[in-house]
Each structure stands twice: as structure tokens, then as C-alpha cells.
Amino acid sequence: MMPLVLDVIGLVAVATLFGSMAFFSFVVAPLVFVKLDGASAGRFLRGIFPWYYLVVGLLSLLALAALAALRPLEAAALGLVALGAVVARQGLMPRINRHRDRMLAGDPEAERGFNRLHRLSVWINGAQLLAAFAVLLRLATA
């Protein structure tokens, strides 16, 4: 009985993780730039991204904890998703914000650093999204 309960908790956590990430990545973030001017969009995203990565990290850890005993491969993938959230939130985001501030202040060198770090954060997010989807498929077809 308990393994079934843990599987259900894991499945719900991964489905929520994937759905949240997909909705934010493909609906919220692009829509922000359509509906808000550049400065407002930047302020909004700067305020929401720490929460986004916190939710991604917590949902990943919840799913990992539920699945760790019986599904070590899936748990390991979710551990990498959680690690990516920590790296993005605590490491990349502050650096991206500093480069963006320097860009807005007129520093021409900052744009290259901003673009490189932003691209890295997009790749990490894409890998997290794919990992969550892969785990979701494995759980749904088990």
C-alpha cells in the first residue's frame, strides 16, 4: 500500500512540476514581453524568477523524496532538476541581474556576459523541463 501512495505522490509532484514549468516557459514569460513595456517586463521577471526556481526546486525535492526508495533513476533525474534550480536561482540569476543592470547603465561589455548567462539559464531550464517530462512519462507508463 505504501509504495502505491508514494508513487502517486511522486506522480502528482512531477506532473505539477512539469505543468508549472511548461506554463511558465511557454505562456507566462513570452506573454510578459507582449503585454508589458520592456522596463516593466524586466522588473516583473526579476521578481518572479526567484519564486519560479524555488517552486521548481521544492516540487523536485518532494517528488524525489517520494520516489527515492523504489525508483532511483527517476529520483536521480529529479535531484538534477533540483540542483539546476539551486544553481539558476543562487548562482546564475544574481550574475544575470548584475550584467543586465550594467547594460542598462550603458556598459557595452555587459551585454555579451548577459547574453551568455541568459542562454545558459535557458539551456538549464530546457534540460530540467525535458527531465521532468521523461520522469513523468516513465511514471505514467509504469
Q: How confident is the model at residue 76 (pLDDT cuts 50, 70, 90)?
A: very high
Question: Grid coordinates 525508483 are at which residue?
Answer: 71
Determine the average pLDDT of the residues in 9-27.
96
What average pLDDT does the structure give for the chain? 95
Q: What is the CB neighbour count within 10 angstroms for residue 27?
A: 10
According to the model, what pLDDT value does residue 4 have? 85
Determine the average pLDDT of the residues in 72-97.
97
Determine the average pLDDT of the residues in 39-65.
95
pLDDT tens-digit series, residues 86-105: 999 999 999 999 999 999 89
According to the model, what pLDDT value does residue 1 have? 55
Determine the average pLDDT of the residues in 104-122.
94
According to the model, what pLDDT value does residue 129 have? 98
According to the model, what pLDDT value does residue 77 have? 98
Share of residues in the chain with pLDDT > 70 (%): 99
Q: Domain limits of the chain?
A: 2-140
